[in-house]
Amino acid sequence: MKKTWLWIGSILGLGFLAVKAGGYLNLGNEIVVETSSSFSGTLFGGLTIKTNVIIKNPTLKSIQISYPFVRVLTAKKDGAELGTSNANPTLITIPASAQIQSPNDFPTFEIKMPLTTLLASGTAIWNAIKSGTVLVIATSFRAIVGGVAVEVPTQYEELSVKV
């Protein structure tokens, strides 16, 4: 008799955990990420991309996120990586139904790409940048809710660059 109740309790407990985890896994699709990037630079000085990030939590749950990681790519899929922000192990808390943004809650991301980096990536990339072809700013992070890490879809922003 005790074994029966133990099995029933175990099954109910696992079912509860599965439902709870399912709600957390969907959380990544609810978080809204907005980016706003600008650039500055000269022909021989290279480029500096400045990216501000707004992360909105429309849920009724307070969440923690890993520090955002920003990459500059030449294309959304299979693009060459021209630069990245620094990795940071800090966790940031976003209260329920609230938002955080740079530069208020964390610094603006500055990615410097010297001319030598751009040239080393190939003359095709440099020519694309000079002609105004789009660069892609990719922002990614993970949300942590109730100790469960949830992958948030990477946010892509296209940035036209004319040097």
- Locate the domains of the chain by residue range: 2-160
Return the pLDDT at 14.
40
Closest CA to 10 of 154, 69, 18: 18
Domain 2-160 annotated CATH 2.60.40.10:
yes
Q: What is the mean pLDDT of the chain?
A: 75
| pLDDT higher than threshold 50 for residue 102 | yes
| pLDDT higher than threshold 70 for residue 89 | yes
* Distance separating alpha carbons of residues 67 and 47, to the nearest angstrom: 24
Could you give the C-alpha distances from 36 to 22, 49, 51, 101, in angstroms and in order? 32, 10, 6, 11
Least confident span in 56-65, 74-83, 88-97, 124-133: 124-133
Between 37 and 132, the more confident residue is 37
* Distance separating alpha carbons of residues 62 and 96, to the nearest angstrom: 4
Its pTM stands at: 0.70
